[in-house]
Chain A
Amino acid sequence: MQDNRKNTKFMRFIFSAILIISPWIIIFAIKNNIDKNNFSTHDIKIVSYKADTLPKQVDHSQFEILKQVFNTPEEVTAACLTCHNERHKEVMAGNHWRWDREVVRENGEKTRIGKRNIINNYCIATNTNSWKCTSCHTGYGYKDKNYDFSDSTKIDCMACHDNTGTYEKQPLGSGYPVTKKENFEGKTYFPPNYNYIAQNVGSPEINNCGKCHFFGGGGDNVKHGDLSSDLFHANKDMDVHMDENGNKMNCVSCHKTERHVMLGKAHSVSNSNENRLYCTQCHTETPHQNATLNTHTERIACQTCHIPVYAKGVPTKMVWDWSESGKLTETGKRITEKDSLGFITYNTPKGRFVWATNVEPEYAWFNGNAYNYVYGDKIQDTSGIFQINKLYGSYDDPTSKIIPMKVHRGKQPFDPENMILIVPHIYGHDSAAYQENLDWVKAAAHGMRIAGLPFSGKYSFIATEMYWPLNHMVSTSDKALTCTDCHSREGRLKNVAGFYMPGRDRSMLFDIFGIAMIAIAIMGVIIHGTIRYIKKDCIACDVD
């Protein structure tokens, strides 16, 4: 009888325990099953992207007009325009030609800004130095500010539409190809075969865009950080979209172009939230399998996680300190210092450089609008670092997202009396050019006069920062950031303010309070239990 009762008691215990546990086992079994089925295939959702696989629709080699003998590149342009009439108007209204665009500035002033009148913290400004820069202007002969922007014969069609890959310009040619074989900085330039090129034109390829955009700042990957010659032949580790063996996309696959107006812009030269291009052009707003991850897209740009590092191959310039320029050896010779890869870290006429590869981006709130320093803007506050192209945005602005960016830091000449950045005359073989005589006053005086700006005769150096939102060198998803890259105390977003982020933020007050509460509970247990244990001997155990 007693045994029997004990047995049923035990059976009841087991039965109850099984009843309580079994729903859990069932739920976890179902959950695991769902997970397995869900994640076995990992498709990337794509909308509205289709690579163009049609053969070229027009064979330009059959046009009589393109079989003529071209002596100048302008003759090619004229030939183009006989069929593509009116296209020149689109080009001449665009940024690639005008190097500026109409904007409304913060103070409501409607103006035009662009390469012609803004300042960066690399080579500082075009102005008198245009002839060094304008090999990347889509025109011929942009030497100085007297260039005629209404002359359609100066449009360079081939720069963008040459599909032979043979059309090249010497950097100092103000946009003209060479007329005879020429050596420049270790490279030989040949006069182009205009017939061959004109008969093989088409939609721009990576080569057309890259030969300028990958070399901004006068060298490979100097400016952007995420645009380098590595992208001419990228693999999936370099850029998942431009992967030669995979997606095989080129620049205009994303930078869709309608009547010579390209999507996308760099906020180093433009300041408005227009005509931008987004990943959601092809990907959706909810591209992840995981719903929690998808909520991130509301306030975080895709690039933030999917561009974990930039300058994956060729180094990019991180710092340009003009204030250290002008140093000479004891014997009065100019100095050039290089790092182990051969990159110049100091050069007397330019100053000190810092280079870096595989750089972790910095992050900021960005709503697509920016401030751009325009010639003559007065700098009110010189105590801190001046932001040449301040990116606007904050958590409280619901259109802002967190973006990754390259921050280029510099020190550049500044007129401390007029409180404006100096537009110096850097390049040239005249006595005023800083490159020649290392005299800032002369260089500034000449540059400012040409730019139509006042110069007090005094100069100092001001620390500046320039921001380059990163959009290229997108990594494969397995290399994207993981949670703890940001959700940790010292994570990548530790300086992005305005909101509470789990894992990064905590209230020290409440954390200490909570830990204290637990400590008190444990202490209470220990003290209370110890007293009970000590007193146990002197009390009757059974308190019935």
Chain B
Amino acid sequence: MKKRTYIYKGFERFWHWTQALLIMFLAVTGFEIHASYNLMGYENAVNLHDISAWMLLILIVFAIFWHLAVGEWKQYVPSSKLVKEQIEYYITGIFRGAPHPTKKTSYNKFNPLQRLTYFGFKALIIPLMVFSGILYMFPGLFPMLKGSSIIPVLHTLGAFVLIAFLIAHLYLLSTNHNATESIVAMITGWEELHVDPKEEHKKHMQKAVDKSIAGYYRVNKSGIFMDVNKAWLRMHKYASSDEVLGKHFAITRDAKDLKDLEDTFNRVLAGETVIGKPVMRKCHDGSFGKHVLSMNPTLEGDVITGVEGFIIDLPDVGALQPQMDNIVRNSNAGYYRIDKNGYIVEVNDAWLAMYKCKDKESIIGKHFSVTRDEKNLGRLNEIFNNVLKNGATITSEVARRRCSDGSLGKHILSANPVYEGSEIIGMEGFILDISNLDDVKA
């Protein structure tokens, strides 16, 4: 699967090209100083070499800071994994038309040989040039080496290495699928990359859970909180997860409601899955709120190690009848994601079940308008535009869906924007079926 990916950040691109220009210019002036040729005059060469050296030094300081701050330095940590395969690819595989042994992704931009080379570049050659250059400029810093040929010879050697690097660097561009595309990518930051669907899905789900307006929780076998997300904390009016993690779930219920939760908990520990159960929570400040809860066991191998689930707030829904518990039992939290043009790109099985779709293929790639009848489409358009343009998050919107067989259903919907960098690239959310709750009104 290929996907247009934002891979080179703004500073990274500025750094790359500025460094490239500076290093090439330093080489041109430097070899004039080495008396290899006459080009701009020795004095100009020296002055310009000095100025560009200072510019490069400043740039390097910023680049080091950026790599540390953004964490991008990890991309350059060499690893022995697949080094052999990569070498084999360049020596033999490439002639046979074999595929690249590694795939470029935004979180693993470099193949193992690139990692090794760029690491050498950053950890050996650049420091060599910087330190020999500084000693060249300020021989007084290290009087022992004053006038000695060691510093200039090393400085010149580094220059030769950099030129050899540049030649290989430019040539290896052509081993990419499309060389010009790689250059354009280094300018705009965007590149068409192979994407591992599983990896992509996992990453995205992680984000979805973290940023979702649906609350997520995980509890271990003893009923102790192991994980909650921000939405959960917000609903329960906690400031930080430290106040929750390690405590028993009893803190989230009034004494009279606790029994019910313990029952549910024990049932799930026994292997059952609970979905769409409306409950009353007790918040940190003692106030109460209502939400719909799902709970399923967490497994390690075949062993149940605890439970987890989502909760969706029900602030606008009127008094829920106790019998709602049974009515919505069979519903399930459905997940969906829509791209910025309104096309459905991801749904889960629960969503498919609610919409009575046979499989994902029948719905993915279609516009969201297929999920509404004419009467209700306007509202969904409104939500979609609001989320995409304003970055709004919608919670507990009661919606009427049109299933694939044309029948109608009712569900509670949440929607929030999907970000990539600072750009909204779509909308996602959860839905909980409430078709059988006739008295619930928007």
Contacts and interface: CB of A to CB of B under 8 A. Distances in A.
Interface residues of A, number: 51
B175 to A, nearest CB: 8
A518 B156 contact: no
B96 A539 contact: yes
A484 B42 contact: yes
B323 interface: no
B188 A12 contact: yes
B343 interface: no
A256 B149 CA distance: 41
Given A500-B148, A503-B42, A489 B157 contact: no
Contacts of B95: 531-532, 535, 539
B369 to A, nearest CB: 16
B152 A500 contact: yes
Nearest to A28: B51
B348 interface: no
A478 interface: no
A514 B156 contact: yes
B147 A528 contact: no
A488 B33 CA distance: 9
Contacts of B98: 543
Given A500-B147, A502-B152, A532 B34 contact: no
A24 B171 contact: no
B301 interface: no
A499 B148 CA distance: 6
Contacts of B167: 518, 521-522, 525
Contacts of A483: 41-43, 46
Interface in B16-34: 17-18, 21, 33-34
B55 interface: yes
A503 B171 CA distance: 31
Given A31-B51, A483-B42, A525-B171, A543 B100 contact: yes
Contacts of A541: 97
Q: Is the interface of B mostly helix, strand, loop or mixed?
A: helix
A373 to B, nearest CB: 31
B153 interface: yes
A283 interface: no
B99 A510 contact: no
A525 B168 CA distance: 7
B187 A510 contact: no
B266 interface: no
Interface string A219-236: 000000000000000000
B3 to A, nearest CB: 13
B354 interface: no
Given A292-B46, A292-B47, A20 B13 contact: yes
B147 A499 contact: yes
Interface stretch (B69-77, B158-166, B243-251): B158-166
Contacts of A23: 14, 18
A487 interface: yes
B189 interface: yes
Question: Of B18, B96, B98, B164, which is in contact with the most chain A CB atoms at under 10 Å from its CB?
Answer: B164
B106 interface: no
B157 A510 contact: yes
A515 B156 CA distance: 11
Interface string A487-513: 111000000001110111111001101
Contact of A500 (B100, B149, B177): B149
A529 interface: yes
B43 A517 contact: no
Interface residues of B, number: 51
Nearest to B194: A544
Given A19-B14, A20-B17, A506-B34, A539 B161 contact: no
A524 B168 contact: yes
B42 to A, nearest CB: 4
Contacts of B171: 524-525, 528-529
B64 interface: no
A500 B98 CA distance: 51
A511 to B, nearest CB: 7
Interface centre among A16, A292, A544 (most CB of B within 10 A): A16
A543 B148 contact: no
Contacts of A529: 171, 174
B35 A504 contact: yes
B160 A518 contact: yes
B94 interface: yes
A482 interface: yes
A489 B187 contact: no
B370 interface: no
B35 A20 contact: no
A32 to B, nearest CB: 12
A529 B41 CA distance: 37
A27 B35 contact: no
A489 B35 contact: yes
A290 B45 CA distance: 13
B42 A511 contact: no
A499 B160 CA distance: 23
Interface string B45-56: 011001100010
A511 B156 contact: yes
9 closest Cβ contacts across the A-B interface? A514-B160, A539-B97, A499-B147, A483-B42, A503-B35, A500-B149, A521-B164, A521-B167, A525-B171
Interface of A: 9, 12-13, 16-17, 19-20, 23-24, 27, 31, 290, 292, 395, 482-484, 487-489, 498-500, 502-507, 510-511, 513-515, 517-518, 520-522, 524-525, 528-529, 531-532, 535, 539-541, 543-544
12 contacts: A16-B189, A19-B14, A23-B18, A484-B38, A500-B152, A503-B35, A507-B149, A507-B153, A513-B160, A518-B167, A528-B90, A528-B171
Given A500-B149, A513-B157, 10 more contacts: A13-B184, A17-B187, A24-B18, A24-B21, A482-B42, A483-B42, A500-B151, A504-B35, A506-B34, A515-B160
